[in-house]
Amino acid sequence: MKVNIYDVARKSGLSVVTVSRVLNNAPSVREGNRDRVLRAMEELGYRPNASARSLAKGRTGVIGLTLTTLHDAFLDAVVKEAADRLAEQGYFLALSVTPSYEASHRSLFQHDRVDGVILLSPVEEDAYVRGLKQEGIPFVMIDNQHRNPEVASVLVDNFQGGYAATKHLIELGHRDIAHIRGAGEFLSSSERERGFETAMRDAGLTPFRVEQGSFDIESGYEIASRWIETGTLPTAVFAADDYMAVGVMDACKNAGVKVPGDLSVVGFDDQLLASQLRPLLTTIRQPARELGRIGAAMVLGLIEGSAQGGETVVLQPELVVRASTAPPRGI
């Protein structure tokens, strides 16, 4: 039969409260009582698990994580890394897949259900911040939409990513370069667009055009199809995510436009499909695992009191050159 904290209390002749204090290294425990508890634990072969330690500390042992979709390899990688790192510390990660703060709050984000929260690309960001602060729940934002010096967050330098993607096309010799921006509510969309525009300006170039996309294959397909039908195709395009880039390439394939011979394409994220479809997609890789690892460490630090709430960590993306980009014809 498995030994529990009550067995240790009976064996030592002390209360469960005292045993709990010993398990958590409370300084208020008298040394004699601490020795009795430790001796009882050794004789019984008792090893406190994460749940016992959490209960002793008045905690749930659960970290909540909210995101808007599971159909995204980049977000999946962030979640998996965070879950693995939290599991190493005895925590269970509970997911809330919804764009709504109210739904997350009703189902999960209450103080008696979670010890902390990770917000991954939150849409209703202000509502989450207000609600979690009111609940007194430690939280960290990953890929948040607003810079907030009072909130712990982990970001990717989307401006630098947009700049690197565009600079790559410029260095190949392209001058007629278009950009398909992401959904308007995301900080990443505006920062990637700003990187594009800055790189073009630094090279003395004017953007061929900027189109509004929506972070999906369909919008990339529709935009590229319109360019092809109207005869206004640029020589290169930087799409703000890989899905829109794939949509562009699909439209080109259907219309007999060669990638990269007629049109070079760069995406963003380095989704799994970027290295599986042909031609292999040149893209900007986000450090998904590092985002998850740092986010997990930060929320644990806030729970334990060893971290400050206003820390912001900014990570650098990486250009991954594959087969979808080449110099324009004639160069």
The structural domains of the chain, with segments of one domain joined by +, span 5-56, 62-156, 158-286
pLDDT band at 51 (very low <50, low <70, confident <90, very high): low
Per-residue pLDDT of 154-195, as tens digits, reads 999 999 999 999 999 999 999 999 999 998 878 899 999 999
Per-residue pLDDT of 205-220, as tens digits, reads 999 999 999 999 999 9
Query: Closest Cα partner for 182 from 121, 262, 112?
Result: 121
Most confidently modeled range among 7-21, 60-74, 277-291? 277-291
Show the tokens assigned to 24.
């958590």
- pLDDT at residue 198 in the model: 98
- pLDDT at residue 325 in the model: 98
Per-residue pLDDT of 87-129, as tens digits, reads 888 888 998 887 666 766 666 666 568 899 999 988 778 888 8
323 CB-near residues (< 8 Å, 6+ apart): 260, 278, 279, 280, 281, 282
pLDDT(139) > 70: yes
Q: Give the span between the Cα atoms of 303 and 297, in whole angstroms.
A: 10
Q: Give the span between the Cα atoms of 286 and 191, in whole angstroms.
A: 14
- pLDDT at residue 106 in the model: 64
pLDDT band at 245 (very low <50, low <70, confident <90, very high): very high
Third-level CATH fold of 158-286: Rossmann fold (3.40.50)
pLDDT band at 54 (very low <50, low <70, confident <90, very high): low
Helices (H), the chain: 5-12, 16-23, 31-44, 50-56, 73-88, 101-107, 125-135, 158-171, 187-202, 217-230, 242-255, 288-304
- pLDDT at residue 19 in the model: 81
- pLDDT at residue 111 in the model: 58
Query: Closest Cα partner for 239 from 184, 181, 313?
Result: 181
62-156 CATH, one of 3.90.230.10, 3.40.50.2300, 3.40.109.10, 3.40.50.300: 3.40.50.2300
Q: Does residue 20 contact residue 53 with C-beta atoms inside 8 Å? A: no
Third-level CATH fold of 5-56: 434 Repressor (Amino-terminal Domain) (1.10.260)
Show the tokens assigned to 65.
């994580």
Q: Give the span between the Cα atoms of 23 and 49, in whole angstroms.
A: 10
Same fold, 5-56 and 158-286: no
Per-residue pLDDT of 270-327, as tens digits, reads 999 999 999 999 999 999 999 999 999 999 999 988 777 788 999 999 999 999 999 9
Q: Give the span between the Cα atoms of 118 and 298, in whole angstroms.
A: 9
pLDDT band at 249 (very low <50, low <70, confident <90, very high): very high
- Global pTM? 0.81
User: Can you tell me whether residue 329 is helix, strand or coil?
Assistant: coil
- pLDDT at residue 235 in the model: 98
Per-residue pLDDT of 256-268, as tens digits, reads 999 999 999 999 9
- pLDDT at residue 145 in the model: 75
When comparing pLDDT for 130 and 178, which is higher? Answer: 178
pLDDT(33) > 80: yes
- pLDDT at residue 76 in the model: 92
- pLDDT at residue 72 in the model: 87
